[in-house]
């Protein structure tokens, strides 16, 4: 189904909201109905809209039960499932779902689970969501598809998902993200995207949607009736161009009594978190005064990251740079090469020089999607190994790309539970690492590969090295 770009001005021409203040109603309804919201995040960038929220990198019954017993209103579990093959992602979703059920039953906790994924529609959908639904015994539950992420310029209008680029809204299917070698797609109309991803099992005519007109002009009673009319085990696309749209939807959803099975981006999490906004974090809050040079680790291969990296090199020439060649990594014996790079990295950091460790920008792919995953895993493993071998605490840490950020946190630094401090710029979260990690108290700035404009990475680094 062909869709065309729109002018960004379309966002100013949308109908006004008839419900001027439903947020307080939502807060009451949410806490009257649900004790805890658990976000299963398929990479760590989904914390980009919340603050003062814990992130777990483990999902044992004991770890989940502890959060329930403490009354944690919202927490993340980092699954990093986007780095896995589909069967591994399904198995993981099943395991986590079963552990949630056990922990909730023992603590009498009422919960909702959100499967948080990419705002540009990449990920293991519907496989891991179906597995989670089955594991949680959500019989009759409806898939709500909500990829809106306003801080990153992602909007859904007339069932079409758009990515803001300059002064235009580009259909997601026309962006480089749609050409992902593992998770590529051809449809930006979400009804047709569901058909594409289910390989024709779900016809577009069977997918319901809630329009912006309905969200902005209907009563919550009318909306809840429409939500309740969706067929059990059905699918529903939620259009959204603002947080008020999501707040209205969530209030109506709670009133409808429908069992939700969420596949969303980060804005839906923030809407349900019902948090007051927090100011952006500043550079001095994020550095360790007695640390060595700062470290920027760049693993993402999306075009946005490459543009940002090139901008950083042009505008911060004082930074040291160290390229990790993917071609050499895929040779039969890369161990000596990695050892040499690790030595160079430690020398520059120990000398107090901030350093960019980045993967070569040529994207090496294979016709087999599973092989593409393995190439990505090999690259991430190598970056992780180099961070594991650091001999000194960096002054600051920026990790670019979801899989890279996850592997650095969990495998290189041993993070089990971190706290989301907030954001350094819109859409870029910051974690404070806990005592069990290799560098307690270090702030990890988790920079998504697909967020920001050309200068965004440079802006963050300049905050840190003034």
Model confidence pLDDT, tens digit, residues 48-75 = 999 999 999 999 999 999 999 999 999 9
Average pLDDT, integer, range 339-356: 96
The pLDDT-based confidence of 361 (bands split at 50, 70, 90) is confident
pLDDT of residue 403: 87
Average pLDDT, integer, range 330-358: 92
Query: Tokens in use for 161?
Result: 């998902």
| 206-265 per-position pLDDT tens digit | 999 999 999 999 999 999 999 999 999 999 999 999 999 999 999 999 999 999 999 999
pTM (2 decimals)? 0.93
Average pLDDT, integer, range 151-176: 97
The pLDDT-based confidence of 156 (bands split at 50, 70, 90) is very high
pLDDT of residue 124: 97
| pLDDT of 365 higher than 70 | no
pLDDT of residue 79: 96
pLDDT of residue 92: 98
pLDDT of residue 362: 77
The pLDDT-based confidence of 333 (bands split at 50, 70, 90) is confident
Percent of the chain with pLDDT strictly greater than 70? 98
The pLDDT-based confidence of 366 (bands split at 50, 70, 90) is low
* Mean pLDDT value across the chain: 94
Q: Which domains can be identified in the chain, with CATH numbers? A: 6-273 (3.40.50.10840), 283-464 (3.40.980.20)
């Amino acid at each position: 189904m062909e869709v065309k770009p729109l002018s960004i001005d379309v966002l100013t021409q949308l109908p006004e909201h008839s419900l001027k203040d439903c947020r307080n109603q939502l807060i009451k309804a949410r806490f009257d109905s649900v004790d805890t919201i658990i976000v299963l995040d398929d990479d760590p960038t989904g914390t980009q809209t919340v603050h003062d929220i814990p992130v777990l990198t483990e999902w044992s019954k004991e770890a989940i039960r502890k959060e329930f017993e403490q009354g944690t209103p919202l927490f993340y579990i980092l699954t990093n499932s986007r780095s896995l093959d589909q069967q591994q992602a399904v198995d993981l979703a099943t395991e986590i779902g079963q552990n949630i059920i056990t922990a909730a039953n023992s603590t009498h906790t009422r919960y909702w689970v959100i499967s948080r994924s990419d705002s540009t529609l990449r990920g293991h959908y519907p496989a891991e969501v179906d597995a989670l639904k089955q594991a949680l015994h959500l019989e009759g539950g409806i898939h709500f598809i909500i990829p809106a992420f306003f801080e990153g310029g992602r909007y859904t209008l007339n069932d079409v998902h758009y990515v803001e680029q300059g002064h235009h809204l580009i259909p997601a299917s026309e962006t480089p993200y749609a050409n992902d070698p593992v998770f590529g797609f051809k449809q930006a109309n979400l009804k047709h995207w569901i058909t594409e991803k289910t390989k024709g099992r779900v016809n577009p005519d069977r997918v319901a949607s809630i329009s912006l007109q309905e969200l902005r002009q209907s009563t919550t009673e009318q909306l809840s009736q429409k939500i309740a009319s969706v067929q059990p085990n059905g699918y529903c696309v939620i259009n959204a161009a603002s947080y008020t749209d999501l707040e209205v939807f969530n209030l109506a959803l709670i009133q409808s009594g429908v069992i939700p099975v969420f596949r969303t981006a980060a804005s839906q999490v923030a809407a349900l978190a019902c948090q007051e906004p927090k100011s952006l974090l500043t550079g001095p809050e994020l550095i360790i005064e007695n640390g060595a040079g700062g470290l920027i680790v760049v693993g993402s291969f999306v075009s946005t990251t490459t543009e940002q990296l090139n901008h950083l090199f042009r505008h911060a020439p004082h930074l040291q740079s160290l390229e990790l060649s993917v071609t050499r990594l895929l040779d039969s014996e890369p161990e000596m090469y990695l050892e040499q790079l690790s030595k160079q990295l430690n020398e520059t950091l120990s000398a107090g020089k901030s350093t960019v460790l980045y993967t070569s920008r040529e994207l090496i792919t294979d016709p087999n999607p599973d092989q593409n995953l393995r190439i990505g895993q090999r690259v991430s493993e190598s970056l992780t190994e180099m961070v594991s071998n650091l001999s000194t605490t960096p002054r600051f840490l920026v990790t670019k790309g979801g899989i890279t950020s996850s592997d650095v946190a969990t495998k290189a630094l041993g993070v089990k539970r971190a706290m989301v401090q907030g954001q350094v710029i819109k859409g870029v979260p910051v974690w404070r690492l806990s005592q069990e990690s290799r560098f307690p108290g270090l702030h990890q700035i988790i920079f998504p590969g697909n967020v920001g404009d050309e200068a965004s990475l440079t802006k963050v680094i300049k905050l840190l090295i003034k």
